[in-house]
Amino acid sequence: MTPHRHWLQNYAPKYVAIKLADNNIVYSTGVGTVVFSPVINRKTVRSVEFTRVLHVPDLRNNLLSVLYLTRNIRFTVHITVSQMSFECPTGTPLFVAGISSSNTAFLDGSTVPLAEYVSCMDLTSHWFMSKFT
């Protein structure tokens, strides 16, 4: 889920109620694909596409479901004190997330925005994984 409409390709309207950890309810307005350019060991690696990403304007941060990736996409996630590594079924790391002292994680890399928005936006992104996901 992301509040950033300008990151979403193949956008289509989709209205879904989402209950947050604080019991507030927010609503999606659409769904699309986000292209992410990961950085692993200080090197940019092959971009990945996150599909079926909900556009939720009222979110403050991006949310990525670790359980969805492990259960439905068959990712393996390795967690150490300072990093989470997301690997495809072949064992190749596709992207990583650094873990902060507050037990939150942010993907290392940046989004690839839609071409029409590139001139007016910051390319840095933070995909956030709550300690509750």
Domain locations in the chain? 5-129
Q: Tell me the average pLDDT across 46-52.
A: 91
Query: Residue 87's CB: how many other CB atoms inside 10 A?
Result: 16
Tens digits of per-residue pLDDT, 63-102? Answer: 999 998 899 888 999 999 999 999 987 888 999 999 999 9
Query: Mapped to the 3 state alphabet, what secondary structure does 15-27 carry?
Result: CCEEECCCCCEEE
Which residues lie below 8 Å from residue 1, measured CB to CB, with a gap of 6+? 18, 28, 53, 54, 55, 56, 59, 62, 63
Provide the whole-model pTM. Answer: 0.81
**Can you name the CATH fold of 5-129?**
Cathepsin D, subunit A; domain 1 (2.40.70)
Q: Tell me the average pLDDT across 98-118.
A: 83
| Backbone Cα Rg of the chain | 15
Tens digits of per-residue pLDDT, 7-48? Answer: 999 999 999 999 988 999 999 999 999 999 999 999 999 999
